[in-house]
Structure 1
Amino acid sequence: MGNTRISTTISPLTSDWNTDRHSDKGWPQFLDSVTISGLRGWTGETVEFRFPVTAIAGENGAGKSTVLKAAAAAYRAPSKFSDMRTFYPDDFFPNTPWERVEKVNLLYQFHLGVSIGTLNLRKPSRRWRGMPERVGRPVFFLDISRIQPIDTLIGYGKIAKQSTFRGDETEFSDTDRNMLARIMNKSYTAGKMAKYEQKQIGILSTAEGEYSNFHQGAGEDATTDLVTLLRAAPRNSLVIIDEIESSLHPRAQRRLMAELFSIARSQRIQFILSTHSPYVLEQLPTEARVYIQLERRGTRDVIYGVTPDFAMSLMDDVDHAELTVYCEDREAAVVIDALISNERPDLRRRISITPVGPASTVKTLGQLSHEGKLPGKSIGVLDGDQELVTGCVKLPGRSAPEREVLENSDEDYWDAVAQRLGVRTGDLLDAVEDARRLENHHAWSRRVAENLGPRVRTDRVWEDAVSVWAQRVVDIGDRTEFVKDIFTHLDG
């Protein structure tokens, strides 16, 4: 259910973003980036928002919430919305008996239609400067306090003890109720939000009866509040949500992301999220994933396009391998594994191969590893068609792995692959020839598998073809040199 919903929402959103972007038809108001200096250890690092729904991951203390709070202060409430809140830096970064906030600089870049603007909020000593220059835009911020049980919040106990309730109640529309039902995978007959003395209480009804926040689970409670917020958010708003996945199980997380994609497209709303969840990250396109790596010296590196697996590996203390090898995708990982297994099988268990995203991400990680900024030993492995950079090595050949392996004309090679797959060589060659007509070489293995029938998996096509290639086709000297480079980093 979740995957089907996502497939119908993320593609249209991506299409609109690539086509219209910052035009009047697209996102005429968009926060492009924030640069933070002098605040909670930030020293001028920039975080860019490259997609209408962007998620920021990182360990606790890396600075995710600081980015979200800085983003919330980028705009003022438009004058036409008299009851809408304007967020100020002091709301998030106040002076306390233990901290004095000064010498802070927040630099923003944003789009107003096709025009690019900048804003500098600064606090050299006692007062923030630059507030009058802020552009008007509706901003909504949901922090982690939304998942606290309602009966623990100050003032709500009084409401719970009342025998009668006197407050304003707003019924959920069918659209809102259906959205909540899709996320929670639960049927609701009604829903409403009650307000009493500036406090909100969500009330839901199912076939079993009516119940309030006081008797809802944390995930249902938090999602009800989110649906209420989304209903109030005007077109072109900025919506910021801390730990979007909190209290939701994986399927509900995926369904929630699908709803955000749909709303981002229909209402041209920009979402900035923080997360620790691989299920959230895997729903997003590459450009929408940001990882903040906190170094031992307290400085930060902002990494774009990380894979969910890589993000989780950085946030997990469990480390069994002696060397982590970063590569672009699973196809490259299979090639690396086959080359090492053929050359030095005794050492294969000492390394971990992790796909991390596009070549730019591999290069960034290779450089960070070379500078000693990543935990443990690691190295980047680039495809053969990439330019070599510090901290990386290249796969044998001069092309992408799919082209190196599948653009092969040797009949003995294809006989061996066909034997492994349990198919006739002629059928395999026909399937490969058809696949190579596709412009996107990343789709070749899948097309070969489709042509060979349901008994042959895509993964198996690639693994068997690579295994034979690494054993029989690749130049032995190139294979030896590649594996030697890998283990030089392991033993060096």
Structure 2
Amino acid sequence: MNSARVSKTIRPLTSDWNMERYSEKGWPQFLDAVTISGLRGWTGETVEFRFPVTAIAGENGAGKSTVLKTAAAAYRAPDKLPAMRTFYPDDFFPNTPWEVVEKVNLHYQFHLGVSGDSYDLRKPSKRWRGMPERKSRPVFFLDISRIQPIDTLIGYGKIAKQATFRGDETEFSDTDRNMLARIMNKSYTAGKMAKYEQKQIGILSTAEGEYSNFHQGAGEDATTDLVNLLRTAPRNSLVIIDEIESSLHPRAQRRLMSELFSIAHKQRIQFILSTHSPYILEQLPTEARVYIQVERHGNRDVIYGVTPDFAMSLMDDVDHTELTLYCEDKEAAVMIDALISNESPDLRRRISITPVGPASTVKTLGQLADEEKLPGKSIGILDADQDLTIGCVRIPGTSAPEREVFENTDENYWDVVALRLGVRTGDLLDAVEDAKRLENHHAWSRRVAENLGPRVRTDRVWEDAAAVWSQEVVDSADRAQFVKDILGHLDG
């Protein structure tokens, strides 16, 4: 994840989540997981929500919308809010002339305060059971239909002829209008919502005048609807949004996520999103990213902590190389690339290296690859400090990549690195010693680059350090065995 692009509003949210979690000061109402059986190809798989803002990615047809709709039916509307809608499974999964929905079980795990609990909604045959057991909680659901132009929903001609129509209008507060302005990066002098039949019509004003949904772009229309929803969502609500990025360009997507983090923090709201966008995923912490992978035979695997690069690699139409190597992060990827390039340059052209997230994700993907549940040939590449598991190969050494290079090398090694970087060895050694004072070893390369001055890029420091390490420091037999293990997966 590109930390430079991550919103600052994620930090207070993450801090409170780690400190308060399910307490009264935190998120006393929280949907932890849903398990779906007998519905649209789901056979008992569980999807967990491990952060107040969770995004689910996957190809079309993977089941993202089914997860969101299942979550929307988890609660009933509070009695004290009679105007609020309660969602039922039949709202989303009705019988039709082509489908009969039966033998379905939806299992919910949730927290109410610090106590965990669970219940089921079941449809053994004709009707759903378990409705009275549902807890109450405000739930809001925005599906993909929100991005359809208003004239396709209610008929442009019908409303356009009613020149005097104004309808039920609700003004946006300054807070709501400013939120919309920040997301769209546009100045609004006023904003309001008017209701016509079943459609909320957003009406915005700028210095050029007033205009409605009929004359807004799809992104502005959808975001106005979202802001209108958020302005009415009570504290501790569950808000579910399908394809959160729809009709928004990358910068607007990032600004929208920043607003959601802020609202989740201040209002203790839980958001569950679906997305196809790397710009959405890169804003989220590792635990907030979920990928649903559909196997060749239709079964589903739920993978947590994926990187945007990994998610995009499975959702694109690009022809893949002969073998994909899944590793933790870009530092590991650079080290793997250096090892292979030094030992077998021809092999390097046959593989791709994709950072996917923490070691647990690498191990999960290694197992799925071993069971041939991923597209194409692939293996996991674990850092040297990890236990070896099925479907994985381990980088030579005993430590994490940065520790292996920065802590297990001598002055002769740094002489060579300094020559490649074009700096004095003494300056480089001072910069390395200063960097190692940081507790987070992932930040060491960046600190070295900062100490050496603007002429030296952070990426250049690590690329040269890894290249010299792979050529001069690693035992040649260990390097050869590492490459041999990869070739075994490629040719086996």
Q: How does 1:294-309 map to 2 (within 5 A)?
A: 294-309=294-309
Contact 2:409 2:473 in 1 (8 A): no
CA distance in 2, matches of 1:392, 1:79: 53
Amino acid at match of 2:286: T
Q: How does 1:352-363 map to 2 (within 5 A)?
A: 352-363=352-363
Amino acid at match of 1:91: D
Any unmatched runs of 5+ in structure 1?
none
Distance 1:462 1:286, change over 3 A: same
Q: How does 1:352-391 map to 2 (within 5 A)?
A: 352-391=352-391
Aligned twin of 2:196: 196
Amino acid at match of 1:86: T
Aligned twin of 1:32: 32
Amino acid at match of 2:448: V
1:278 aligns with 2:299: no
CA distance in 2, matches of 1:197, 1:272: 28
Distance 1:166 1:212, change over 3 A: closer
Deviates more, 1:341-350 or 1:5-14: 5-14
CA distance in 1, matches of 2:94, 2:155: 24
Aligned twin of 2:138: 138
1:140-188 deviation per Cα after TM superposition (whole angstroms, max 9, x unaligned)? 0000000001001135642222020142111110001000000000000
Aligned twin of 1:152: 152
CA distance in 2, matches of 1:183, 1:163: 31
Distance 1:3 1:351, change over 3 A: closer
Q: How does 1:111-122 map to 2 (within 5 A)?
A: 111-122=111-122
The secondary structure found in structure 2 opposite 1:7 is coil
Aligned twin of 2:95: 95
Aligned twin of 2:174: 174
CA distance in 2, matches of 1:321, 1:384: 25
1:306-351 deviation per Cα after TM superposition (whole angstroms, max 9, x unaligned)? 0000000000121231100000000000000000000000221110
Q: How does 1:131-280 map to 2 (within 5 A)?
A: 131-154=131-154, 157-280=157-280
CA distance in 1, matches of 2:331, 2:194: 53
Distance 1:204 1:285, change over 3 A: same
CA distance in 2, matches of 1:437, 1:3: 21
CA distance in 2, matches of 1:139, 1:385: 44
CA distance in 1, matches of 2:240, 2:461: 43
Contact 2:7 2:283 in 1 (8 A): no
Deviates more, 1:235-244 or 1:437-446: 437-446
Deviates more, 1:482-491 or 1:86-95: 482-491
Aligned twin of 1:471: 471
Aligned twin of 1:314: 314
CA distance in 2, matches of 1:458, 1:5: 16
Aligned twin of 1:445: 445
Contact 2:108 2:118 in 1 (8 A): yes
Contact 2:6 2:282 in 1 (8 A): no
CA distance in 2, matches of 1:221, 1:122: 37
Aligned twin of 1:73: 73
CA distance in 2, matches of 1:291, 1:43: 17
Contact 1:5 1:258 in 2 (8 A): no
TM-score of the superposition, structure 1-length normalised?
0.98
Distance 1:3 1:306, change over 3 A: closer
**Identical-pair percentage:** 86
CA distance in 1, matches of 2:88, 2:174: 35
1:369-418 deviation per Cα after TM superposition (whole angstroms, max 9, x unaligned)? 00000000000000000010000010001110111111134222111000
CA distance in 2, matches of 1:421, 1:5: 27
CA distance in 2, matches of 1:187, 1:7: 21
Amino acid at match of 1:385: D
Instruction: Give the Å deviation of 1:487.
Output: 1.2
CA distance in 2, matches of 1:152, 1:235: 34
The secondary structure found in structure 2 opposite 1:153 is helix
CA distance in 2, matches of 1:200, 1:394: 56
Amino acid at match of 1:227: V
Q: How does 1:51-66 map to 2 (within 5 A)?
A: 51-66=51-66
Distance 1:455 1:217, change over 3 A: same
Contact 2:191 2:202 in 1 (8 A): yes
The secondary structure found in structure 1 opposite 2:239 is strand
The secondary structure found in structure 2 opposite 1:384 is coil
Distance 1:235 1:157, change over 3 A: farther
Amino acid at match of 1:311: A
CA distance in 1, matches of 2:491, 2:430: 45
Instruction: Give the Å deviation of 1:439.
Output: 1.6
Contact 1:321 1:351 in 2 (8 A): yes
The secondary structure found in structure 2 opposite 1:47 is strand
TM-score of the superposition, structure 2-length normalised?
0.98
CA distance in 1, matches of 2:4, 2:472: 41
Amino acid at match of 1:287: E
Contact 1:6 1:255 in 2 (8 A): no
Aligned twin of 2:128: 128
CA distance in 2, matches of 1:469, 1:483: 16
Aligned twin of 2:483: 483
1:226-279 deviation per Cα after TM superposition (whole angstroms, max 9, x unaligned)? 000000100000000000000000000000000000000000000000000000
The secondary structure found in structure 1 opposite 2:154 is coil
Count of aligned positions: 491
The secondary structure found in structure 2 opposite 1:182 is helix
